[in-house]
Amino acid sequence: MEGSLILANGEKFTGQWQGKPKDHIGELIYFTGMARFQEFITDPANKGKIVIATFPGVLNSNLDHSKFESDQIQIGGLITQQDASMPIDVKGINVLDLFFEQNIPVLTGMDTRALIKRVKKEGEMPAIISSKHAVNRLSAHMEDIYADSGTEHITLNGNKHIVIINFGYKKSLIQSLCQSGHKVTAVSGRIDISSVHSLKPDGIIFSGGPGNPLEWQKFFPDYKKLAMKYPTMGLGLGHQILALAFGANIEKMPAGHRNFKEAVIHTGSQKVFMSNQNHGYTVNEKDLKQHGFLVTFKNIHDGTVEGLVHEQYLVVTYQFHPEQIHNPLNELIFDHFFKTVNESKGASVYA
């Protein structure tokens, strides 16, 4: 049967509906990757988003649960040019079967080129994916995408205790921390600061996650207090939240950085790295110095801020994320942070 994608600007696109009838409202974004589709659709930063896949063979992606960034699909809907009536050649789990099992709508046979032109021109916007060709539904509320998890003791033994402020952490972050031999505990972003102190952390990581960082504004004073007391690292959304907590500003990007090979340059060494990014907001570089920050990484393509270090406190932040594979950027991020954690009782260490 047919289904529709209705944009906030009123435009309507029709394709072949795959799955049970339902409606879903979410932010419309696009993914340009030709691979690593499974990591992208299970990334908590994509919770509720409607994703346009630019690669026409995306339904032929092989799926491996060990590569998932969370236990389930996080996106709210998928738009693809691929014709689902054609044979889909995959090993193991069929992508469409996984979407069917989790009741995530898919529209196939879509004009993805036209859709991406709209997003690039008008910016990422709300949209509704509907099996009923519904109109005038964008006034409805989007699903709550903000994490409210409790305390989770992930690894009980280790040399140092790392506490994650959890806005929607990725499994690859946990994997990296566990491999480093650290004790790891995750707590909700809706923190009780005294409870965090009682955990006696040696270091704190503000994780990535979905949505607008200003949604966490009432907690900024507590976030700042924690970052002033403990060696702290922010990743993705956590990078934006920490910048805001110290007084910096953010901007909504017309079309975010959403791929696994985004080029960034380290301002100190002038070395270029390929990074894993998935975000629609960026930290405004203006007045960062006034708030104590120096820029450590910039985006090669548009010059946006990709990394910060605080001049007074042991705080480093990165717009990009560690990956499940070892690479020089992973080593740079974690080697610096773990060195800071280990030496925080003595001299300060900066990137």
- What are the strands, taking DSSP E only, across the chain? 2-7, 12-18, 23-31, 50-53, 77-80, 106-108, 125-130, 152-155, 161-166, 183-188, 203-206, 232-235, 250-266, 272-283, 293-299, 305-310, 315-318
Checking if the pLDDT of 250 tops 90, the result is yes
Q: Are residues 239 and 206 in the same domain?
A: yes
Q: Annotate 93-104 with b (16+ C-beta within 10 A) or e (fewer).
A: ebbbebbeeeeb
Average pLDDT of span 287-312: 94
The pLDDT, as a whole number, for residue 292 is 92
* DSSP state, residue 212: -
65 lies in a domain? yes
Distance CA 117, CA 7 (A): 13
Q: Is residue 316 part of a domain?
A: yes
Q: Provide the pLDDT for residue 176.
A: 85
Q: What CATH number does residue 249 fall under?
A: 3.40.50.880
Say if 139 falls within a structural domain.
no
Is there a contact between 224 and 245 (Cβ–Cβ < 8 Å)?
A: yes
pLDDT interval class at 62 (50, 70, 90): confident
Write down the pTM of the prediction: 0.89
> Which CATH number covers residue 66?
3.50.30.20
Mean pLDDT of the chain: 87
Q: pLDDT per residue over 8-61, tens digit each?
A: 888 899 999 998 888 899 999 999 877 788 899 999 999 999 999 988 888 887
Same domain for 158 and 290, yes or no, is yes
Q: What is the pLDDT of residues 180-238, one digit of tens each?
A: 888 999 999 998 899 999 999 999 999 999 989 999 999 999 999 999 999 999 999 99
Give the domain-ending residue among 130, 162, 186. 130
Burial (CB count within 10 angstroms: exposed 0-12, middle 13-18, buried 19+), residue 266: middle
Give the model's pLDDT for residue 324. Answer: 60
Whether residues 126 and 203 share a domain: the answer is no
- Number of structural domains in the chain: 2
Confidence at 351, pLDDT banded by 50, 70, 90: very low
CA dist 181 and 155 (Å) reads 9
**Which of these three, 130, 165, 190, is where a domain ends?**
130
Domain that holds residue 114: 2-130
What SS3 state is found at 230? coil
In a domain, 160, yes or no: yes
User: Has residue 138 been placed in a domain?
Assistant: no
pLDDT tens string 195-204: 999 999 999 9
- At residue 348, the pLDDT reads 40
161 and 286, same domain (yes or no):
yes
**Same domain flag for 122 and 158:** no
- Work out whether strand 315-318 and strand 305-310 pair parallel, antiparallel, or are unpaired: antiparallel
- Interval 131-165: pLDDT, tens: 876 555 555 555 566 666 667 777 778 888 999 99
**Domain match, 293 and 165 both:** yes
Co-location of 86 and 176 in the same domain: no
Domain membership of residue 145 (yes or no) is no
Same domain, 287 and 232: yes
Lowest-pLDDT range of 78-92, 265-279, 284-298: 78-92
Are 117 and 217 part of one and the same domain? no
The larger pLDDT score, comparing residue 143 to residue 285, is at 285
Residues 286, 163 within the same domain: yes
Count of CB atoms within 10 A of residue 305's CB?
A: 23
Mean pLDDT value of segment 92-115? 89
pLDDT exceeds 60 at position 347: no
For residue 267, what pLDDT band results from cuts at 50, 70 and 90?
very high
So what's the pLDDT on residue 88? 65
> Which two tokens mark 245?
């907590």
Is residue 202 in a domain? yes
pLDDT tens, 300-340? 999 999 999 999 999 999 998 876 667 788 888 888 898 88
**349 pLDDT more than 50:** no
Q: Are residues 118 and 87 in the same domain?
A: yes
Asked if residue 255 and residue 183 are part of one domain, the reply reads yes
Residue 350, in any domain of the structure? no
